Chain A
Amino acid sequence: MKRNELLENYDVAVIGGGPAGLSAAISARINGADNVLIIDRDLYLGGILQQCIHPGFGLKKFNLELTGPEYAHKFVKKVLNSDIDFITDAFVSEITKNNEIFILNSRIGLKKITSKAIIFAMGCRERTRASIHIPGYRPAGVFTAGTAQRLINIDGLMVGKRVVILGSGDIGLIMARRCTIEGAKVEAVIEILPYPSGLNRNVQQCLNDFGIPLFLSHTVTDIQGSRRVKKIVFSKVDIDKRTVAGTEKEIICDTLLLSIGLIPENELTKKIGIEIDSSTGGPVVDNMMQTCREGFFACGNVVQIYDLVDYVSNDGELAGKNAALYSMGKVKNYYNSDKKVFICKGRGIKTVVPQILKDYSFLNKNKQISVRVSDKFDKPVFLIKNNSGNTICEIKKQYALPAEMIHLNINDDFDEILKESTVFLEIKE
């Protein structure tokens, strides 16, 4: 994938050409930014969608059940048919506070450009063996599930013959099915929690359909083998996730895939001192998807880990539009607006995005907040309270699961909320 030589100055530069970056760039261009650039480190645009060859994408946004590459195609085509610049196989080494971006690429070498607005859309990466300290030897054959997915679906290389998967997140479940189709024997999926961390529909269509056993409340406690994985040992855990001595079991295998969570990739963001929310792992953003630094926006999995790509695209549209308006000087003084409301997390709330609400009503109408709960709730009532404990807003939902993000529409009470400086979001007891 190639485009013309880069300009010196852009209106909007987007770091990352996955679903968030693509939709941000398209939206920035539609909303009036003349010079838009996408920078991506892979050879092709589309990001991780290109390796997610299974169906299940686009149900919310297009009412279609698309595969990852099909979903990506809709956006890549739009970029190719537009005058949006892009550079692939390129790495951003640094972004400065003066809006300079340093790009490394084997064709153009090291290049410095500047951009009036910058959008972070770097997505996320996987937690590794080191993140959870699995004891044992360090042989070949231990992969993260996403790396295995890329090797199989993009590079056409199989990872092993007898596979054990640690973690029952959706990526792990999808890879259990994929490895089976590619001729491997998936011996077991092992999950530390007492319930599957992926969606039940994926447990059905990826494990049950193929008779793959799922061990709940278990974890891997040893990896054996000198050159290649020979076997793994797994044990039962108690309610505090401590391993129970005497419950060890062995599985002969040559491959261990890890599906143990995702981390927003924010090295560039942190380097210029943008505030990070420790509960999401992403930058603190307002309802315009702007970070705490003026002119720097963020969208998609770099902000928080989403369940569905459809929401990532919506995020991108919002960030792209607002970055464009910012670059055109249409919103010059809004940043210092006095009206700023912080949302604090109360009972049952694990994450909330945006963390800050501002009065942008003259620009757009994003009056939705996304929430992740810490536990399972049946018919929960979400409350937004002010500093004195009075309820401003009450939203009822049918159910709430930790695995599923919840969207709360605060449109009706938005003006009331804006009168406060801090509000508290919680689930009614």
Chain B
Amino acid sequence: MTNKVTCIICPKSCIIEAKKEGSGITLTGESCSRGKKYAILEITDPRRIFTSTVLIDGADLRVVPVRTTKPIKKNDWMNAKKIIDKLKLDAPVEFGKIIMSDFLEKGIDLIVTREIFSR
């Protein structure tokens, strides 16, 4: 089975063909080692950094931006959104604060990506 993978590592956006043969995977079209790693991961365990916003009280802003510290499974994005929709923070919030540890998976945290002052 052959899979076409558009590499998302850099703006060059290489199209990498990955062929599954037995337990091995052969690649063609990649132009760097990072692309190679990405293509293999993309057909075995596709993942993305998840970003969204969470509600906050007591600030000039209604929401704060958040991200996962590591990429989560692509299929988990909607679950991730359901979980964070139930959260509400209170200002002030310091930059990089962990608001949930082991978010969906062990070793992946959900953090705030902006410093929020009190109103």
- Collect the chain A residues with CB atoms within 8 Å of residue B61's CB: 154-156
Q: Which A residue's beta carbon lies closest to that of B13? A: A200
Interface residue tally for chain B (C-beta within 8 Å): 30
Instruction: Return chain B residues, CB-CB under 8 Å to A69.
Output: 65, 113-114
Question: Are B11 and A181 in contact (CB-based, < 8 A)?
Answer: no
Structural contact, B11 and A156, CB atoms closer than 8 A: no
Distance A44 CA – B15 CA, assembled complex (angstroms):
40
Which chain A residues (1-53) contact chain B, with CB distance < 8 Å?
A: 1, 43-44, 50, 53
Question: In the complex, A43→B95 CA distance in Å?
Answer: 18
**CB <8 Å contact, A55 and B51:** yes
Compute how far the CA of A307 lies from the CA of B11 in the bound complex, rounded to whole angstroms: 10
Q: Which of B2-10, B21-29, B98-106 contacts A (4 or more CB under 8 A)?
A: B2-10
> How far is it, in angstroms, between the C-alpha of A203 and the C-alpha of B15 when the chains are bound?
12
Contact A181:B10 (CB < 8 A) given known A53-B113, A73-B95, A156-B53: no
Q: Does B67 contact A73, Cβ atoms closer than 8 Å?
A: no
Whole-angstrom CA separation of A399 from B13 in the bound complex: 12
Q: Is the CB of A43 within 8 A of B77?
A: no
Known A67-B67, A69-B113, A69-B114; contact A152-B11, beta-carbon cutoff 8 A: no
Indicate which residue in A44, A68, A154, A202 contacts B63 across the interface (CB closer than 8 Å): A154
Taking the nearest CB of chain B, how far is it from the CB of A170, in angstroms?
A: 10
Q: Which residues of B have CB within 8 Å of A308?
A: 11
Q: How far is the CA of A70 from the CA of B69 in the complex (A)?
A: 12
Query: Interface residues of A toward B: which range?
Result: 35 or more
Question: Which one of B9, B52, B65, B115 has the highest number of Cβ atoms from chain A below 10 Å of its Cβ?
Answer: B65
Which of A1, A153, A307 gathers the greatest number of chain B CB atoms within 10 Å?
Answer: A153
- The listed residue (B6, B52, B115) touching A200 by CB distance below 8 A is B6
Please determine whether A43 and B60 come into contact, CB atoms closer than 8 angstroms.
Answer: yes
Contacts of B48 in A (CB 8 A): 205, 209
Within 8 A of B (CB), among A44-100: 44, 50, 53-55, 59, 65, 67-70, 72-73, 76
Give residues 42-84 of B contacting A (CB, 8 Å).
48-49, 51-53, 55, 60-63, 65, 67, 74, 77-78, 81
Within 8 A of B (CB), among A178-224: 181-183, 199-205, 208-209
Complex Cα–Cα for A54 and B8 (A): 14
Contact A201/B63 with A53-B51, A156-B55, A181-B81 known, Cβ cut-off 8 Å = no
Most buried by B among A68, A69, A76, A153: A69
Mind listing 19 A-B residue pairs with CB under 8 Å? A53-B52, A53-B65, A55-B49, A67-B65, A67-B67, A69-B114, A70-B114, A152-B53, A153-B53, A154-B63, A155-B61, A155-B62, A182-B52, A199-B11, A201-B6, A201-B13, A209-B48, A209-B74, A308-B11
List B residues at the A interface (Cβ < 8 Å).
Answer: 6-13, 15, 48-49, 51-53, 55, 60-63, 65, 67, 74, 77-78, 81, 95, 113-115, 117
